[in-house]
Structure 1
Amino acid sequence: MSTDKAEASAAEDRSQNSGTAKHEEEAPGPLKLDPRGIPLSPQPTDDPKDPLNWNRWLKLMVLTEVSIFSFLALFSASLITPAFVPLSLFLHRDLVTTAYVTSTFILLGGISAIFWNPIANVYGRRPVYIGTVAVAAAMCGASGAAKNYGTLIALRCLNGFFGGVPLGLGSATVCDMYFAHERGVYMGIYTISFLTGGHIAPLIGGYIEKNLSWHWCFYVPAIITGGILIIFVFTVPETLYSRTPAALARPSQSWMSNMLMKRRAHPTRQLRIVDFFRPFQMMIYPSVVIPTWCYSLCFAYGSILFIITSANLFGKIYHFQPQQTGLLLGIPITVGSLVGELFAGGISDWISEKRALNRGGERSPEDRLLGIIPSALLTPLGIIIEGVCLQNKTHWIGVAMGIAIASFGLQVMTTGVYTYTAECYKPQSPELGSLINFGRQVYSFTIGFYAIPFANMIGIQDAWITLAMITFAFFLPLIPLYYKGADWRKRLGKPTFHQDL
């Protein structure tokens, strides 16, 4: 018993020094360790139905299906992108105005998690996923049948509001199931999924428009989403797990009860108005607001900038048809993201584990920031390369290289930010997912208003260089965060809500 107490005391000291939440290290019994002898964070209960204790295959199944939902969210948003030209003719709108069909989805997708995540924290992830994704599939299908611009924009707003839920809730689901030392890899799988959805869509959208019509750029994701939802209903259990003494004292519900959602997922919590403002409350913490600001710009200029402007610029400069535009955009952006994730997730976990061992088991979330360094160089570089190539009308391979390099950097940044913030404040991971998604989507929405006019005003090359320099500048605050993040968290204290998760 004295050994257990000594281990628990040492773990508590390490938790205070590294800035991680103390409750993540606490356990009612003997301290549980990972394969390298470092205390597990968070500490699991002895309940086999605790998602932290699930079999590997069950965790992977849940992760896969949630990741597919995330993939389909941005896939649904971007599949129409290569078909903007024929869509603009149908709607009798210019290309800039037509691009709002995607921009409005992005905007409402950012807002949606602010509303839905507090509900998921009380009633469970499962009912929220099922209800919102079902409505999103219906709205996506209805978009294909729209007869005018106003109706289409309204349907896309609803599509984004319901379909954007997996983009904000998925990171919380990952944290429900995986320990801190695993999150780099599994959070990376989740993040590559939603980014790739927006990247693969242009590859397919042009051919769908050519062989069917632009209407099917909405029908196809609606059909696929509906099919995946049916599988989800029968295979994915609830991942929200309350660790309050009152909840743990209750009889554990059966797997069948879990799947049928017979009782509220969090039996001791009530939904309050203040819960809808919790994500913004997290902005007082530098370990949240600095990475969120940086990532929002990185995503907007390292991904959405290419997507929103491709139909306009590739058509004018290279005289590409929709399917050619989709290929030039989709292939490099997808390859860059996939290669970036092969580097990002494993390296992030390796750095974290290696440095923890060097400190005698003391974890520090700031170690995750070291893995972001390549992004600070590659994302701005890729943006500049594309701008220079477009301005000088070089061979399209130069444009492809720029997009791929920026996408590599963005994927490294995405995995790093989601993993770092979740490791700093794991109980608040739903709020973190909401806030990051909000910042990313809302800032990306604005690009459609100024990217092309800005390029027309000063030239594509100078405009893209300016945006790249802004992106690089927002990486610089990560330097003091690396050195002072733990001290700042200790000084500000821990959030007082969700301490039971």
Structure 2
Amino acid sequence: MSSTDCEKPPIDVIVASDKLAEPEPYIIFDRTQKRLITFVVTIVASSSTLASNIYFPAIPTIAEDLNVSVQLVNLTVTAYFIFQGLAPSLWGPISDAKGRRTAYVGTLIVLLGACIGLAQTKNYTMLIILRCLQSTGSASTNAIGSGVIGDITMRADRGGYMGFFQGVMLISIAIGPIIGGVLAGSLGWRSIFWFLTVYNGVLLMMVVFLVPETLRSIIGNGSRTPSQRIARFPLTLYQRHTTVKWDADKAPQQDPAPKRVDVLAPLRILTSKMATAIIIFFAIYFTVWQMCITAMSTLFTARYGITEIQTGLTFIANGAGSMVGTLITGKIMDRDYRRVHEKFENDERLESDGRIFPLERARLGPVPIYASVQCLSILLFGWTVQYPDQVHIAVPIVATFFTGWSTVSTQSNVTTYLVDIFHDRSAATTASINLARCCLAAAGSSAILPMVHGVGAGGAFTICVAVQLVAMVGLGVQWKCGGVWRSVKESAMS
């Protein structure tokens, strides 16, 4: 990137406030309905991260039962991440064009079929193929859920909803191994996939009965009846008895036209200069977290001699940290947005110096703190787990608490920031984040154990932190140049 790439443009292309970039999105759903919708789509989104991590404690048992090496079973984790990154690039644009409910039903049916097949797996070939299919079905629930929240919220309240969504979704990364350890240790590893079958069947019913269509090109402000039968929401009786009046006359004068499915939209967002730096920054931090989680069960089992169930319980701290991040990050984001917005609105020099609303400051302000905490916790984990005879297992477990908290908080801030920028393609935006983080996580999860064997746990995770520190450059670039890039784009579109 040249030094002139983010120089301040002429004042006539600066937007004094970026309110015009996102029209006031009047929606017929009241606060109770928004909370219900957010809760359901959050639980549905957890299916992806839950399925990716729930069988970590059972990997040695699966390898023994299928008569293959642990390394081969670990490859199914890599394959899962690859498809987890690629699948939303299809389902995300479908949900942005054809509707959220249509995409939800399609993905969950694929997921259900894969879970049933995995529960009856007879050989390694079936295992890896069905894990890829399982990832294809589950991975897009995150992108679709982000799209739903983008549909029903404004910037002023989006942080709280998105913080809850991203945080609870990532908690399943931490609690998945706990559930998997208990199931594998008591009922056998196949019970993990029967559990997922029942779980995802319930999620499908929740989507069908509790989640309305929210895509504005289909339902307008919520009062329009969708023409597609699959998009019709059955529980309209509940909505008719809320405090919101169902007045179709309040629908926008010009609703957006239906879109075509654009499967390249996530890739274009990923390679857009307004998003590339911050996405790569977060993808690296997410990858290091996933590398830590992937290595935990193997390192704790080998170095501390604990059982499958005990291994699952070691993930509780990570889950608790993720939960703390969930509870506080959304509130912090909404508070920061209100504070920055109020200061901006009261600044009388706006028109004279041509400044734009500092969205980067409103959304990304705490991210350097979260990133620093994650780096320190990863170092603590790596160097303490390397010396099991000298350091109690509680120390690396506590370190994972801070890793989970900081990663969840970072993802919430970054995702909300990007949905604010690409509010008309929110599902595709989240798909672009998935594409980057999952592909990097696939490489990282397959590389971490060879790194540990080569240079030790302390050395391996020190290398990871060094890469994270370099990735901080991306955050700095976004902070410095993001506002100018947005202003130029908005001026060109006006």
Into which bin does the TM-score normalised by the smaller protein fall? Answer: 0.7 to 0.9
Residues 64 and 256 of structure 1, relative CA distance in 2, 3 Å threshold: farther
2:176 paired with 1:189: no
Correspondent of 1:288 among 275, 294, 303: 275
User: What's the CA shift string for 1:247-272, capped at 9, x where partnerless?
Assistant: 969x932799685389xxx9943535
Contact 2:103 / 2:144 at 8 angstroms: preserved in 1? no
2:338 paired with 1:353: yes
Give the CA deviation at 1:347: 1.1
2:319 paired with 1:320: no
Partner of residue 445, structure 1: 442
Partner of residue 230, structure 1: 205
Equivalent residue runs for 1:62-101 within 5 Å: 62-101=37-76
Equivalent residue runs for 1:48-447 within 5 Å: 52-242=27-217, 252-253=224-225, 259-260=231-232, 268-269=257-258, 271=260, 275-302=262-289, 304-328=290-314, 330-360=315-345, 363-367=357-361, 368-393=363-388, 394-447=391-444
Contact 2:266 / 2:429 at 8 angstroms: preserved in 1? yes
Correspondent of 1:476 among 467, 473, 476: 473
Which range is displaced more, 466-475 or 339-348?
Answer: 339-348
How high is the TM-score relative to the length of structure 2?
A: 0.85
Partner of residue 16, structure 2: 17
Q: Distance in 2 between matches of 1:365 and 1:216?
A: 46
Gaps (5+ residues) in structure 1? 1-12, 25-41, 46-51
Letter in 2 for 1:323: I
Which range is displaced more, 275-284 or 196-205?
Answer: 275-284
Alignment partner of 1:287: what SS?
coil
Correspondent of 1:485 among 479, 482, 485: 482
Letter in 2 for 1:348: M
Q: Distance in 2 between matches of 1:416 and 1:191?
A: 9
Alignment partner of 1:16: what SS?
coil
Give the CA deviation at 1:182: 0.9
Q: Distance in 1 between matches of 2:122 and 2:189?
A: 12
Residues 153 and 254 of structure 1, relative CA distance in 2, 3 Å threshold: closer
User: What's the CA shift string for 1:9-46, capped at 9, x where partnerless?
Assistant: xxxx999235x47341xxxxxxxxxxxxxxxxx3134x
Letter in 2 for 1:16: V
Correspondent of 2:25 among 39, 44, 52: 44
Q: Distance in 2 between matches of 1:316 and 1:438?
A: 32
Residues 142 and 21 of structure 1, relative CA distance in 2, 3 Å threshold: farther
Which range is displaced more, 310-319 or 95-104?
Answer: 95-104
Contact 1:175 / 1:183 at 8 angstroms: preserved in 2? yes
Alignment partner of 1:17: what SS?
coil
Contact 1:301 / 1:467 at 8 angstroms: preserved in 2? yes
Q: Distance in 1 between matches of 2:25 and 2:334?
A: 20
Partner of residue 28, structure 1: none
Contact 2:58 / 2:308 at 8 angstroms: preserved in 1? yes
Percent same amino acid among aligned pairs?
Answer: 23
Partner of residue 35, structure 1: none
Alignment partner of 1:475: what SS?
helix
Contact 1:110 / 1:442 at 8 angstroms: preserved in 2? yes
Letter in 2 for 1:317: R
Contact 2:167 / 2:409 at 8 angstroms: preserved in 1? no
Higher relative contact order (CA 8 A, sep 6+): 2
Residues 252 and 69 of structure 1, relative CA distance in 2, 3 Å threshold: closer
Q: Distance in 1 between matches of 2:61 and 2:492?
A: 50
Alignment partner of 1:474: what SS?
helix
Alignment partner of 1:359: what SS?
helix
Partner of residue 456, structure 1: 453
Q: Distance in 1 between matches of 2:319 and 2:368?
A: 21
Q: Distance in 1 between matches of 2:465 and 2:264?
A: 32
Q: Distance in 1 between matches of 2:473 and 2:340?
A: 23
Contact 1:67 / 1:193 at 8 angstroms: preserved in 2? yes
Which range is displaced more, 275-284 or 253-262?
Answer: 253-262
Q: Distance in 2 between matches of 1:255 and 1:15?
A: 41
Give the CA deviation at 1:311: 2.5
Contact 1:69 / 1:166 at 8 angstroms: preserved in 2? yes
How high is the TM-score relative to the length of structure 1?
A: 0.84
Q: Distance in 2 between matches of 1:494 and 1:149?
A: 55
Give the CA deviation at 1:98: 1.2
Q: Distance in 1 between matches of 2:25 and 2:487?
A: 24
User: What's the CA shift string for 1:464-490, capped at 9, x where partnerless?
Assistant: 111012112212331232233111222
Which range is displaced more, 413-422 or 103-112?
Answer: 103-112
Gaps (5+ residues) in structure 2? 1-11, 235-254, 347-355
CA RMSD of aligned residues (A): 2.6
Letter in 2 for 1:366: E
Q: Distance in 1 between matches of 2:264 and 2:208?
A: 30
